[in-house]
């Protein structure tokens, strides 16, 4: 595994729409492993492929230690409720804000074995799913801030 360089805001890669993954190849599996290592080293709870310069629809999320969600071609298929909470991004270090996200979401994605699965999450997990899937469409959390917060 390798730690990857995280692309920062201002890099055009973060504003592009990612291409779907047609098949899970050994390169995709290596990318997943490297993204997980990079996310953990950066102390994040999610990372999307464009954040490491790869324009593919891939993201990883880990809000509880050891419980990693590998999301290939993810789509939100259901959502409910609303939450307004603090959010930040590994690609925008030092910037924080309050966002409005669904309280509960269900995501359909493919795993590293090429199997389609669904996962539901609430609160931070729902927010992380939404945040990372937004990255795959070239959207950043700062695009829809409800309130900007002072840097911590």
Q: Which residues have a catalytic role annotated?
A: 132
From the list 62, 66, 72, 65, the residue with the least C-alpha distance to 32 is 72
Integer Cα distance of 127 and 55 in angstroms: 22
Q: What is the largest CA-CA distance in the chain?
A: 43
From the list 148, 125, 136, 106, the residue with the least C-alpha distance to 14 is 136
């Amino acid at each position: 595994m390798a730690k990857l360089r995280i692309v920062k805001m201002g890099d055009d890669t973060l504003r592009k729409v990612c291409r779907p993954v047609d098949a899970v190849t050994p390169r995709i599996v290596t990318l997943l492993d490297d993204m997980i290592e990079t996310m953990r080293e950066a102390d994040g709870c999610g990372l999307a492929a464009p954040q490491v310069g790869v324009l593919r629809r891939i993201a990883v999320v880990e809000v509880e230690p050891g419980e990693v969600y590998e999301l290939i071609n993810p789509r939100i298929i259901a959502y409910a409720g609303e939450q307004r909470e603090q959010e930040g991004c590994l690609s925008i270090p030092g910037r924080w804000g309050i966002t409005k996200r669904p309280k509960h979401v269900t995501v359909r994605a493919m795993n590293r074995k090429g199997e389609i699965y669904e996962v539901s999450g609430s609160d931070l997990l729902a927010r992380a799913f939404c945040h990372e899937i937004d990255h795959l469409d070239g959207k950043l959390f700062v695009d829809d801030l409800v309130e900007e917060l002072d840097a911590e």
